[in-house]
């Protein structure tokens, strides 16, 4: 399957390279136009640079019913998904979750069951707040492996990707350029800064870019909340529960709101969009992942709002179950795209640096 998908993407890339009408649309086209021939690694790199904004499709004169039948966003989306499956470790899990939204729902149910069982079996150490239901040490025992093992899996996947695209030793300037590009979601603004065409054919919109910002920064704020709380607990001996204006609460609540709103808006956006301009086989899994991530944010907000009620133990199990599911599935769902896109942007920064040095 991989050879067939890359062959089709290569055919379309060669036509685009001859036409060059879309030059400057996003990061894909400067990289594409820098080559005369495309290896498998080149196609892999182009696929992971693509943000599926679809501007090139609506600008193209060679889409169906033209005999060239170009649909570059779809061709690159299919290669991209196949990359994530092929490079993932262990691979069978990726092939299951990237195309089966129902598997994500099943994993969520299992996550809830595991947390409920843990709460009943391990119990509390007599602390306050959430730790009155599940002790701090128990949470560490459960969540530390669930966080570190997926990161190990992603590291193996990215190593395979880096070898495939002939990546060079990474310099700090490469990382800085990639983080700056990703932080601004620059490619979702398209070449002229008008936005992309994801949700409404040839109408430009900044909606998808803004929604991506909400999700990304919401997730980072939630992660910052947990990280700050960990430092406060272990370094400064300041134990939970924390007040409303403490950093963990401010980061967590604001991040949860951004995450919930962003994921809800993204799900609506995907429902409005044309599935045939992406990878149709992965559509259900993409929606499943978006809803899972949004549920993590929403369940955290509900848990905080009702933390002083009798519902708190059940809500804690539901929230922690969704978090556990999210981390365990991180290498095998759409979450992987963030890591691959950042790696692709780092490789693109190296390409630009090499071109500058040659000149």
> In the chain, what percentage of residues exceed pLDDT 90?
50
The residue-averaged pLDDT of 192-219 equals: 82
- pLDDT of 29-81, one tens digit each? 989 988 888 999 999 999 999 999 888 898 899 999 999 999 999 999 999 99
Pick from 122-126, 134-138, 296-300 the range whose average pLDDT is largest. 296-300
The residue-averaged pLDDT of 318-347 equals: 90
3-state secondary structure string across the chain: CHHHHHHHHHHHHHHHHHHCCCCCCCCHHHHHHCCCCCCHHHHHHHHHHCCCCCHHHHHCCCCCCCCCCCCHHHHHHHHHHHHHHHHCCCHHHHHHHCCCHHHHHHHHHHHHHHHHHHHHHHCCCCCCHHHHCCCHHHHHHHHHHHHHHHHHHHHHHHHHHHHHCCCCCCCHHHHHHHHHHHHHCHHHHCCCCCCECCCCCCCCECHHHHHHHHHHHHHHHHHHHHHHHHHHHHCCCCCCCCCCCCHHHHHHHHHHHHHHHHHHHHHHHHHHCCHHHCCHHHHHHHHHHHHHHHHHHHHHHHHHHCCCCCCHHHHHHHHHHHHHHHHHHHHHCCCHHHHHHHHHHHHHHHHHHHHHHHC
The pLDDT, as a whole number, for residue 220 is: 96
The pLDDT, as a whole number, for residue 191 is: 54
The pLDDT, as a whole number, for residue 300 is: 94
The pLDDT, as a whole number, for residue 133 is: 76
- Does the pLDDT of residue 117 top 80, yes or no? no
The pLDDT, as a whole number, for residue 8 is: 96
159 vs 95 pLDDT, higher one: 159
The pLDDT, as a whole number, for residue 197 is: 74
The pLDDT, as a whole number, for residue 202 is: 67
The residue-averaged pLDDT of 249-275 equals: 94
187 — pLDDT class (breaks 50, 70, 90): confident
The pLDDT, as a whole number, for residue 355 is: 74
The pLDDT, as a whole number, for residue 54 is: 87
The pLDDT, as a whole number, for residue 349 is: 94
- Does the pLDDT of residue 207 top 80, yes or no? yes
158 — pLDDT class (breaks 50, 70, 90): very high
């Amino acid at each position: 399957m991989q050879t067939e998908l890359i062959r089709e993407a290569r055919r379309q890339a060669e036509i685009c390279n001859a036409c060059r009408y879309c030059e400057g649309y996003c990061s894909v086209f400067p990289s594409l136009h820098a080559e005369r021939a495309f290896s498998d690694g080149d196609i892999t790199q182009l696929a992971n640079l693509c943000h599926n904004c679809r501007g090139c499709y609506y600008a193209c004169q060679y889409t169906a019913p033209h005999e060239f039948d170009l649909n570059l966003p779809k061709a690159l989306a299919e290669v991209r998904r196949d990359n994530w499956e092929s490079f993932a470790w262990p691979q069978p899990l990726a092939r299951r979750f990237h195309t089966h939204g129902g598997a994500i729902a099943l994993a969520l149910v299992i996550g809830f069951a595991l947390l409920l069982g843990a709460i009943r079996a391990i119990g509390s150490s007599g602390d306050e707040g959430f730790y009155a239901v599940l002790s701090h040490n128990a949470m560490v025992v459960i969540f530390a492996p669930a966080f570190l093992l997926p990161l190990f899996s992603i590291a193996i996947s990215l190593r395979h990707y880096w070898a495939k695209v002939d990546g060079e030793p990474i310099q700090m300037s490469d990382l800085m350029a990639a983080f700056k590009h990703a932080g601004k979601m620059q490619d979702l603004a398209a070449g002229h800064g008008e936005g992309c065409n994801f949700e409404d054919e040839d109408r430009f919109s900044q909606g998808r870019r803004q929604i991506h910002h909400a999700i990304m920064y919401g997730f980072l704020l939630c992660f910052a909340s947990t990280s700050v709380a960990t430092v406060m607990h272990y370094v400064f001996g300041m134990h939970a529960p924390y007040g409303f204006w403490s950093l963990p609460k401010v980061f967590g609540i604001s991040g949860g709101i951004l995450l919930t709103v962003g994921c809800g808006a993204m799900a609506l956006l995907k429902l409005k969009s044309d599935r045939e301009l992406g990878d149709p086989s992965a559509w259900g899994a993409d929606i499943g992942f978006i809803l899972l991530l949004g549920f993590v944010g929403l369940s955290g907000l509900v848990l905080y709002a009702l933390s002083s009620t009798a519902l708190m133990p059940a809500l804690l199990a539901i929230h922690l179950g969704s978090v556990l599911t999210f981390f365990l599935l991180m290498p095998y769902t759409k979450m992987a795209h963030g890591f691959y896109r950042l790696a692709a942007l780092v490789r693109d920064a190296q390409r630009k640096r090499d071109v500058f040095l040659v000149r």
